[in-house]
């Protein structure tokens, strides 16, 4: 989803990401939650049954860009094979970033 104003960094955007590799059982969700909070984003992160992790995040485009770069690195112990933008299936409600169990 693009920002309403089309600006790269100013207004709120919502983005979804799917991360593949060794991303479950290595603290990836906790690490992502901390990264999202540090960047001032609202959103959620969860494990998928296929072994990937999915993220839905909302905030300024510049902060979302920073999160996307960080997701490509991941925490120690993780091995990120790909970070793919996906259509978010919901819009984050409220403030904060949290781990969810859909």
DSSP class of 68: H
| 46: number of Cβ within 10 Å | 15
Q: How far apart are CA 80 and CA 69, in angstroms?
A: 11
CB-based contact 49:83 (threshold 8 Å): no
- The residues annotated with a catalytic role in the active site are 29, 47
Helix, strand, coil content of the chain in percent (nearest 5): 25, 35, 40
Q: What is the C-alpha to C-alpha distance for residues 23 and 16, in angstroms, rounded to an integer? A: 16
């Amino acid at each position: 989803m693009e920002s309403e104003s089309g600006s790269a960094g100013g207004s709120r955007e919502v983005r979804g990401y799917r991360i593949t590799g060794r991303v479950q059982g290595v603290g990836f969700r906790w690490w992502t939650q901390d990264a999202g909070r540090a960047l001032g984003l609202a959103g959620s992160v969860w494990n998928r049954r296929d072994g990937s992790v999915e993220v839905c995040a909302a905030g300024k485009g510049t902060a979302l860009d920073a999160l996307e770069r960080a997701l490509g690195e991941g925490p120690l112990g993780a091995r990120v094979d790909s970070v793919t933008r996906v259509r978010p299936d919901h819009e984050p409600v409220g403030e904060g970033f949290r781990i969810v169990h859909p």
